[in-house]
Amino acid sequence: MQIRDALDTDLAGILEIYNDAVQNSTAIWNDKVVDLDNRRAWLAERHEQGYPVLVALVDQRQVAGYASFGPWRPYDGFRHTVENSVYVRPGQRGGGVGRSLMQALIERAREMNKHVMIAAIESENRASIHMHQQLGFIHAAQMRQVGCKFGRWLDLTMMQLTLNRTSQP
């Protein structure tokens, strides 16, 4: 498995993974699938903002998963805090793809001098919660029925990782 920055040539694989999560899981709380132009605009926006998008490749070509982080809140006071997202292709889950992507993403956040990384995870996604715990994230909050999908209310588990122990921003 190779982890590197995402390229435009990776967008078809990213799109497949994203739309699968929309259609078949509560990992993404959107109801509508998107097209390639949507993912192209998303990637361009992340790059413009200076945020990474990483892909995990198997066999040097198939996108097995992707991860990114972006702003947690749109206010200046939150500029040292980012929120992560990580998604893995069905059939590749449980094999370390998500963990490897997250380890690389955490390192990027540290290199960018970010202070805290937030993870907002649907509360029944025990695998993601467990992976984040193993990477050092702690439980920060449990938010009940703040979203809905597939005709039911969803709870959100908020987790956080302090990336550095500086006393001053």
pLDDT tops 80 at residue 157: yes
Distance of CA 136 to CAs 49, 54, 140, Å?
26, 20, 12
> Percentage of the chain surpassing pLDDT 90?
94
Q: What is the pLDDT of residue 125?
A: 96
11-24 vs 36-49: helix axis angle to the nearest 10? 110
pLDDT value at residue 31:
95
User: Residue 56's beta-bridge partner residues?
Assistant: 3, 65
Distance of CA 109 to the CA centre of its chain: 13
- Give the pLDDT score at 29: 96
Q: Is the pLDDT of residue 60 over 90?
A: no
Q: Identify the pLDDT of residue 165.
A: 84
Mean pLDDT confidence for 34-61: 95
- On average, the pLDDT of the chain sits at 96
Q: Max Cα separation, the chain?
A: 45
**3-state percent helix, strand, coil for the chain, nearest multiple of 5:** 35, 35, 30
| pLDDT band per the 50, 70, 90 thresholds, residue 156 | very high
pLDDT tier at 39 (50, 70, 90 boundaries)? very high
pTM: 0.95
Taking residues 117-140, report their average pLDDT: 98
Rounded CA-CA distance 98/123 in Å is 18
Residue 67 has pLDDT above 90, yes or no: yes
Domain 2-162, CATH: 3.40.630.30
Residues 6 or more apart in contact with residue 18 via CB below 8 angstroms: 28, 34, 39, 87
Give the pLDDT band of residue 121 (cuts 50, 70, 90): very high
pLDDT value at residue 168: 81
pLDDT in the model for residue 127: 95
In the chain, domain spans: 2-162
